[in-house]
Amino acid sequence: MTTTSRSKPLTTGGSGAGFENNWGVGSLFFKGFSVKHISIHNRPAYNSEVWGSRERGVHELNYDASDARLADTIVLWGANPYETASVFYTEHMLPNLQGATLSEKQRSLLRGEPAEAGYLIVVDPRRSSSLTVAENAASGRTLHLQPNLGTDYILANAIARVIWERGYYDSGYLQRRTDLTKLEEYKAKSLKLGTPYAEFMAQVSTITGVSRADIERAADWIAKPKGPGFPRRTLTIYEKGIIWNMKNYDQVAAIVQMNVLGQNIGRAGTGVGRQGGHQEGYVRPPSPTPGSIFNGGPPVNVDKFITGGNGKLYWVIGTNPYLSTPNNQFYRKRIHERTTALSNYLGASGEPGTTGALVSKILEGLEQTNGLFLVVQDLYLTHTAQDAHLVLPASAWGEANQTSINCNSRLLRLYEKFMDPPGEAKQDWEICKLVGLKMAELYRAEGKEEEARRFEFGKNWRTDEDVFLDGGNSFPNNAIPASEEATLPAECYKGVTYAFLRQVGQQGIRTPVRMENGKPVGTLRRYSQRFGTQDGKFSWYGTDDWEGYPAEVAKYLEGDLAQQYPFWMTTGRAQTLWQTMYNDRFLPEKTSQVPLPYIELHPQDAQRIGLKSGDLAEVWNEEGNGTFMVYVTDAVKPGLIFALQYHDKGTSNSMTSGYTDAKTTIPWYKGTRVNLRRLAGALPDLMMSTSVLQQNKFD
């Protein structure tokens, strides 16, 4: 190729992809182009949000929905399932908190093991709906920890220190199942056993803002044995509040290690993993990109690469970075400048009459202007697509057969086609196949046979199932005993066919799938006998000391900027809206409920500024600004605002910084400093269909 390409491909089943499209996209970019400057979904790099767990030997999808019914304690850490995984919360977690699953516990747990209604710990800077619903349903059995933004890993380490100090661990388990050499590093760096307990806890409370009493109470609920021979059963579920936190790697690692220290994984009612919120369908060829800083990385920040004037081709597939990428007000302006420079060059004279001549003109323009050729492959004309030079219409879920797994049980299911796609729209795998075959034709015409063969990955694909089976064959041998399930990738479905999935229907099959006597067998929960490391032992890690905030945010805590930007801002999603509203913006019942992006503001702050629910406010900092509707609520504490992350009419990502974790290149969407001011009162037309009642109140 004569240009440096950069891609931002789709990733998840729930967003319109599935195993088929992910295998197709991955085959083009990794088998064919071997692209190194590539990012994933909303992020500025091709990385994992959970390397801090995976490199311990724990894939983030390891528990089953039934574990939420059997747990003694459920911990929601940076997760709000009432709004973002509603069925999981209301049908599995809530019955446990209400005592409605006691008979299931008595049948499933050990003989003589004490069982009672579950407890809930919510670790979140907000009083989320997941907390307030439980407070009403399970009075006296909820605990809310509100750490200062970015300090969660310090809090997790402190809870683990209490677990250690109080002996809530099984020495035999640690010796059999974990790496004892690395355990010493964990004890020294994360638990800080060299620091006296009282001194350590005082430091933690100062950093996190959480009292020693609450930390110790949380440790009791998480790991205090129920009696001789009966360790507690705790299920810890985390999501974007941790994944998109400062120091992503250490945040995730600290929470996983806290759970493993208390033996809360691999047993009924236990686990430590992502909540999720959409279907997933990850299967791709190996990528040429590095891993975390401990595995050849971190990956290159390609948002900064391309906004810095590098690259010539920008191919966006199934995502909308003009809304979803961090620090995106600057990002949008820079991409717009570069695409416009090329467009202006092409428009300066008549358009060539042949494809070959037009390609030559584009390549000439890219060299003359340092412009950027933008390709968008999507269902709709998104914000990003408005600057595109080429739009490739993709088809959606329901317009083809697709497979994916859910997060809380890894249930692989088939979602069959029920309508044809509009016009020329095609599935992403088919678009990538056709591009690959054209590339092979062009290389072969130049006598480059080896390069041509790289792009013929899809020459035998005729149906959706052809792609599904091709991806399945990429997984390792899975004819192994159940005791070896940890050696398999979490999504492994080798040996599964569409016919099998039609037969099992919505019951699906839990991945990773093993083959026994030629038949697929699912995995209920993971890591009961070994972890996913080479030697099968859990790999401990010593997290960093608290070093304060990164420079991109620390600047707001010093000098004049500290006065100019007095509010902390965290971000998140709304139950009503799906992703970036790529589809919801066409649904009146959605746009009438949430007509504008919004912020949540504490009553004390609202009174001081002169804001009421329904008013319009501007939020801004040195990175960018946005206009938001105001909800006055006690869901946030004074000095903190919560801002909706994605909306068709704006995004809080305009104010997030360009900071990424040095170990993973994962951004910190969840924390920065801002100011706000009143722009206008409530708009009468909007108030006719929009409620401004507190969203975490149900009385």
Could you give the strand order of the β-sheet that contains 411-415, starting from the edge strand earlier in sequence?
Answer: 402-405, 411-415, 509-510
Query: Tell me, what's the pLDDT at 402?
Result: 96
Task: Give the three-state DSSP class for 310.
Answer: coil
Between β-strands 142-145 and 390-393, what pairing exists: parallel, antiparallel or unpaired? unpaired
Query: Tell me, what's the pLDDT at 16?
Result: 55
Give CA angle at 31 (424, 490), nearest 5°.
95
Which residues have CB under 8 Å from 25's CB, separation 6+?
A: 9, 10, 17, 284, 317, 428, 429, 432
Give CA angle at 116 (115, 118), nearest 5°.
115
The CA distance from 332 to 321, in Å, is: 8
Q: How many CB atoms lie within 10 A of CB 390?
A: 12
Q: How many CB atoms lie within 10 A of CB 173?
A: 15
Between β-strands 514-516 and 313-317, what pairing exists: parallel, antiparallel or unpaired? unpaired
Asked whether the beta carbons of 104 and 69 are under 8 A apart, the reply is yes
Residue 41: phi, psi to the nearest 5? 60, -120
Q: List 413's β-bridge partners, or say none.
A: 404
Query: Tell me, what's the pLDDT at 292?
Result: 98
Give CA angle at 151 (147, 156), nearest 5°.
85
The amino acid present at 287, given as its one-letter code, is S
Q: How many CB atoms lie within 10 A of CB 32?
A: 21
Between β-strands 234-238 and 402-405, what pairing exists: parallel, antiparallel or unpaired? unpaired
Give the H/E segment covering residue 198: helix 197-208
The CA distance from 666 to 247, in Å, is: 8
Query: Tell me, what's the pLDDT at 7?
Result: 59
Query: Which class does domain 551-687 fall in?
Result: mainly beta
The CA distance from 5 to 30, in Å, is: 12
Residue 547 corresponds to which tokens in the numbers above?
């070093």
Per the rule left: phi > 0, alpha: psi between -120 and 50, beta: everything else, 269 is left
Burial (0-12, 13-18, 19+ Cβ within 10 Å), 625: middle
pTM above 0.95, yes or no: yes
Asked whether the beta carbons of 195 and 226 are under 8 A apart, the reply is no
- Rg of the chain over Cα atoms, rounded to whole angstroms, equals 26
DSSP conformation class of 660: B
* Domain boundary assignment for the chain: 5-49+283-454, 62-274, 551-687
The CA distance from 462 to 470, in Å, is: 11
Between β-strands 373-378 and 390-393, what pairing exists: parallel, antiparallel or unpaired? parallel
Residue 70 corresponds to which tokens in the numbers above?
């059997």
What CATH number belongs to 5-49+283-454?
3.40.50.740
The CA distance from 98 to 93, in Å, is: 9
Task: Give the three-state DSSP class for 44.
Answer: coil
Sole residue written with tokens 């490391």: 533
Between β-strands 402-405 and 142-145, what pairing exists: parallel, antiparallel or unpaired? unpaired
DSSP conformation class of 430: H
The CA distance from 228 to 576, in Å, is: 46
Give CA angle at 630 (627, 631), nearest 5°.
150
What CATH number belongs to 62-274?
3.40.228.10
Give CA angle at 597 (595, 600), nearest 5°.
115
Q: List 618's β-bridge partners, or say none.
A: 627, 677
Which residues have CB under 8 Å from 122's CB, separation 6+?
A: 75, 76, 128, 130, 131, 134, 142, 143, 144, 145
The CA distance from 24 to 36, in Å, is: 17
The CA distance from 46 to 290, in Å, is: 9
Query: Tell me, what's the pLDDT at 349?
Result: 85
Residue 81 corresponds to which tokens in the numbers above?
């399932």
Q: Which segments of 304-420 are extended strands (E)?
A: 313-317, 373-378, 390-393, 402-405, 411-415
Q: How many CB atoms lie within 10 A of CB 29?
A: 24
Per the rule left: phi > 0, alpha: psi between -120 and 50, beta: everything else, 41 is left
Residue 558: phi, psi to the nearest 5? -130, 150
pLDDT along the chain (699 residues), means of 10: 49 64 96 93 92 98 98 98 95 98 96 97 97 96 98 98 98 98 98 98 98 98 96 98 98 98 98 92 94 97 95 94 94 97 93 90 95 96 96 95 94 97 96 98 97 98 98 98 97 98 97 97 98 98 98 97 98 91 93 95 97 97 97 97 95 96 97 97 89 85
The CA distance from 335 to 338, in Å, is: 5
The CA distance from 311 to 332, in Å, is: 16
The CA distance from 177 to 381, in Å, is: 51
Sole residue written with tokens 């516990």: 105
